[in-house]
Amino acid sequence: MKIFLLEDDYLLNKAITQYLVSKGFKVTPFYNGTEAIKAIANDFDLMILDIDIPQFSGITVMEDIRKLYPTKPIIMISATIDIDMISKAYEKGCNDYMKKPFDIRELELKIRTFQKNAANTVQILEGLEYTLDDHRLLHHSHEIPLTPKEKILFHILVENKGRTVSLELLERGIWGMNAEAIHLRQLVARLRKKLPDNCIQSRTGSGYCIL
């Protein structure tokens, strides 16, 4: 399981990272909102976000995550006792909240609960399945090889199955701030060649979706 950790306290960040790595998780640490927002489209299974961080708040980062990944597990951590702030975190989409200081073993238990409860396979079309945990696309049990950017694109579309994902969000999610529209069109065209007809639907001028 790949974990995104946003915590500006260097010692706490390091302690959480080292502990979770020792338990078999892969952890990528971030220390401020700017670097975190640039990385949210990367291949993470669960996000841990501190609320009070430099540059962007953890809630702002979470709002960006939710635009791309409506169902990805998010655990908020904070020393705040402001119930309005905690309520806002839940309203904006966090799945759980932990007040600092906390026992790091409790954090591990929460992560393992999300890991166990995660729905593994999404049925896309007849005979076409996508596994959420290891990001594999299977057509009648045969894997369709995807490039790293094709995986990101397809994963975002699967996370938003039934909804149109805007061109801007897809471009930013795959390439960051330096995206160009032509790159997305070319990527979609290459991916479509690997998929059954009409798997990825175009919404003219607005985006793409998987129904």
Looking at 82, 117, 152, the residue that finishes a domain is 117
pLDDT band, residue 119 (cuts 50/70/90)? low
Same domain, yes or no: 92 and 182 = no
Asked which of 81-90, 121-130, 142-151 is least confident by mean pLDDT, the reply is 121-130
Q: Quick one: 58 and 135 in the same domain?
A: no
Phi, psi of 161 (to 5 degrees): -50, 130
* pLDDT mean over 15-33: 95
Q: How far apart are the first and last CA of the chain?
A: 27
Indicate whether 123 pLDDT > 70: yes
Question: Number of folded domains in the chain?
Answer: 2
- In CATH, what number is assigned to the domain containing residue 190? 1.10.10.10
Tell me the DSSP string of the chain.
-EEEEE-S-HHHHHHHHHHHHHTT-EEEEE-SHHHHHHHTTSS-SEEEEESS-SSS-HHHHHHHHHHH-TTS-EEEEES---HHHHHHHHHTT-SEEEESS--HHHHHHHHHHHHHH---EEEEETTEEEETTTTEEEETTEEE---HHHHHHHHHHHHTTTSPEEHHHHHHHHHGGG--HHHHHHHHHHHHTTS-TTSSEEETTTEEE--
Q: How confident is the model at residue 71 (pLDDT cuts 50, 70, 90)?
A: confident
> In the prediction, which pLDDT does 133 show?
74
Residue 91 belongs to domain with CATH number: 3.40.50.2300
Query: 31 and 93: one domain?
Result: yes
What domain range includes position 155?
Answer: 121-209
Mean pLDDT of the chain: 89
Q: How far is CA 169 from the centre of its chain?
A: 13
Instruction: Please list the residues that pair with 138 across neighbouring strands.
Output: 129, 143
End position of a domain, from candidates 117, 139, 154: 117
Q: Are residues 150 and 81 in the same domain?
A: no
Tokens 């979609």 identify what position?
Answer: 188
Tell whether 15 and 98 lie within a shared domain.
Answer: yes
Q: What is the pLDDT of residue 3?
A: 95
Same domain, residue pair 139 and 199: yes
Are 196 and 132 members of one domain?
yes
pLDDT on residue 62: 92
Same domain, 110 and 132: no
Based on the fold, state whether residues 83 and 126 are members of the same structural domain: no
For 100-117, write each residue's pLDDT tens digit: 999 999 999 999 988 876
Mean pLDDT of 130-156: 87
Is the confidence at residue 49, as pLDDT, over 90?
yes
- Do 97 and 12 share a structural domain? yes
Q: Give the pLDDT score at 172.
A: 86
* Pair (113, 128) in one structural domain: no
Question: Which pLDDT value is given to residue 118?
Answer: 64
Q: Are 59 and 89 in contact (CB under 8 A)?
A: yes
Q: Are residues 146 and 67 in the same domain?
A: no
The residue among 132 and 79 whose pLDDT is bigger is 79
pLDDT tens column, 152-192: 999 999 989 889 999 988 988 888 777 677 889 999 999 99
Q: Which of 117, 138, 158 is the last residue of a domain?
A: 117
